[in-house]
């Protein structure tokens, strides 16, 4: 499996490819929330595979559940360290780490739902567990997320940076679907 930089570079090439419709679709989805984001990801999966997946879900609720879970567990870490031990700065770093550790286990929730998976949270956890060790998955998610969140500040465009990160996840998902064993 490629590392995060390779996935992001490949995603940028695909996104910038003229005429594939991904840029136009991203402009339409830019402020549409989880439903619009899922539609864009469906287009991206369709471009990568040559055929769009047909799965249906309430992507608004799916996204809300995913990020509520990540956020609540991060908040527990923050409050535990800050309130119980008065470690404010370490608590903030721990909360960020917990958020992305949970996000890493759930990184494939949207593509799995687009593929029609009935239990995308559990399936994401299992697929990641079969294909990549937790520490490497966390590092990959953190690097992809950093580009998504801060790429716009570096002059790369906020929507473009977000979409390239999502496309990197799509490429990673396609690799993970084909893989069968955890690398050593």
Longest dimension (CA), the chain: 55
Q: Which of 36, 22, 19, 11 is closest to 175 using CA atoms?
A: 11
131 in Cβ contact with 179 (< 8 Å) = yes
Would you tell me how many other CB atoms lie within 10 Å of the CB of residue 144?
26
Domain boundaries, the chain: 4-178
pLDDT in tens, 66-90: 999 999 999 999 988 877 777 788 8
Each residue's pLDDT tens digit, 12-30: 999 999 999 999 999 888 8
pTM, entire model: 0.91
- Confidence band (pLDDT; 50, 70, 90) for 148? very high
The reported pLDDT for the residue numbered 41 is 97
Calculate Rg over the CA atoms of the chain. 17
| pLDDT tens digits, one per residue of 39-49 | 999 999 999 99
């Amino acid at each position: 499996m490629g590392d995060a930089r390779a996935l992001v570079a490949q995603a940028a090439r695909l996104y910038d490819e003229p005429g594939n419709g991904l840029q136009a679709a991203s402009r339409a989805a830019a402020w549409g929330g989880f439903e619009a984001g899922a539609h864009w990801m469906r287009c991206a999966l369709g471009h990568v595979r040559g055929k769009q997946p047909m799965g249906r879900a309430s992507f608004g609720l799916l996204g809300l559940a995913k990020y509520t879970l990540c956020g609540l567990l991060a908040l527990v870490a923050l409050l535990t360290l800050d309130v119980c031990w008065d470690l404010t700065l370490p608590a903030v770093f721990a909360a960020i780490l917990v958020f992305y550790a949970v996000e890493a286990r759930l990184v494939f929730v949207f593509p799995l739902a687009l593929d029609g998976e009935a239990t995308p949270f559990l399936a994401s956890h299992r697929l990641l567990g079969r294909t990549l060790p937790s520490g490497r998955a966390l590092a990959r998610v953190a690097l992809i997320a950093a580009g998504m969140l801060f790429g716009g500040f570096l002059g790369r465009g906020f929507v473009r940076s977000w979409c390239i990160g999502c496309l990197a996840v799509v490429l990673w998902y396609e690799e993970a679907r084909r893989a069968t064993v955890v690398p050593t």
